[in-house]
């Protein structure tokens, strides 16, 4: 059965209150359904809610389900410019959405922020909901590169006892580009491994740097050259898009481990693929320029690369904070507040 043919369960609140605006969640991850239901009372007497409980990224399905929405809760799908116009009733579109409540950070890679600003459509994102989730996944990727547990598991199950030589984390230098909530959590974990942590010194909280005993390095290229492991934790903003260049990536030494659980768009287009295809740097990536990653993408050909499908943010703890903030954003919009406004 295709996405368009499926008949998802629909959860509605206050359906008879047609005097209230309508907030629609056109798709959701199954694990988020119960956390969202627990927070829907926050919209009592503020807005009706219609939540579709299946998972789809089909643009026409999303648009059809949101046709009469005043606000849309955006959970894990992109809104291209043409779809944005239709959602909001511009350029011949029939929608009337006035607010998008995005269930994540890095909203700029999902919605055209300049366009929403121009047209007076509010966009909200959420903050610090998944600091631990992303930090833990970062170390899962680092450990996979260092100890290859996935490959070794498959070999043992195939009766191959060859094994592999591990790469020690203790005493190595972890270079962090980005030192907000996630970067600081990664640093705390790294301290537990006995690693030396160096941080690119841009907008770094001095108190946090002192508390965590990190070394601040002013030049990003210098950091990449000195680090044994480079991990990215910058948000995607207009000021950070493409901030990591081919010249900086070129300074990584052979044998460096490179991890990205932030956003692919903070790297100059094509620069990372070109660097990794040289074959002397190992990488683990959770984010990509195009998602899902196309089957013919050259990243798939990089030897030893570890790829995960943009899941660093997804765990049970993160869902509790995420769902509450999304609902709070919608409630704030309809009551004249400014909670978590991103644009």
Neighbours of 312 (CB within 10 A): 24
Tokens of 51: 């939540």
SS3 158: coil
Helix (H) or strand (E) run with residue 173 in it: strand 173-177
Q: Is 272:247 a contact under the CB 8 Å cutoff?
A: no
- By CB atoms closer than 10 A (0-12, 13-18, 19+), residue 53 is middle
CA-nearest of 111, 5, 12, 10 to 60 is 5
* DSSP assignment of 171-194: TPEEEEE--SHHHHHHHHHHHHTT
Phi, psi for residue 78 in degrees, rounded to 5: -90, 155
Catalytic residues: 263, 291, 310
d(CA 226, CA 47): 53
Tell me the two tokens of residue 122.
């509010």
């Amino acid at each position: 059965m295709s996405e368009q043919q499926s008949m998802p369960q629909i959860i509605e609140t206050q359906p008879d209150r047609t005097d209230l605006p309508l907030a629609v969640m056109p798709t959701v991850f199954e694990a988020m359904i119960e956390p969202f239901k627990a927070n829907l009372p926050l919209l009592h007497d503020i807005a009706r809610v219609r939540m579709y409980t299946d998972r789809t990224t089909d643009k026409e399905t999303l648009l059809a389900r949101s046709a009469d929405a005043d606000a849309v809760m955006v959970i894990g799908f992109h809104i291209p410019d043409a779809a944005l116009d239709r959602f909001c009733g511009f350029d011949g579109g029939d929608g009337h959405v006035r607010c998008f409540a995005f269930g994540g950070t890095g909203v700029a890679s999902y919605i055209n922020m300049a366009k929403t600003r121009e047209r007076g459509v509010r966009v909200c994102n959420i903050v610090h909901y998944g600091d631990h989730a992303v930090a833990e996944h970062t170390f899962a990727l680092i450990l996979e590169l260092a100890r290859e547990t996935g490959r070794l598991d498959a070999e043992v199950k195939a009766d191959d006892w060859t094994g592999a030589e591990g790469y020690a984390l203790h005493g190595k230098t972890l270079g962090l580009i980005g030192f907000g909530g996630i970067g600081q959590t990664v640093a705390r974990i790294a301290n537990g491994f006995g690693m030396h942590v160096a941080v690119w010194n841009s907008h770094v909280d001095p108190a946090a740097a002192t508390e965590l005993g990190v070394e601040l390095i002013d030049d990003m290229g210098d950091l990449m050259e000195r680090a044994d492991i480079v991990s990215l934790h910058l948000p995607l903003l207009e000021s950070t898009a493409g901030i990591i260049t081919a010249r900086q990536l070129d300074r990584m030494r052979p044998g460096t481990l490179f991890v990205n659980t932030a956003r692919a768009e903070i790297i100059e287009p094509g620069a990372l693929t070109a660097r990794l295809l040289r074959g002397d740097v190992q990488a683990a990536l959770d984010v990509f320029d195009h998602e899902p990653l196309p089957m013919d993408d050259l990243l798939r050909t990089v030897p030893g690369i570890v790829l995960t499908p943009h899941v660093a943010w997804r765990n049970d703890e993160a869902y509790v904070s995420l769902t509450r903030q999304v609902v709070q954003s919608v409630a704030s919009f309809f009551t004249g507040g400014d909670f978590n406004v991103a644009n």
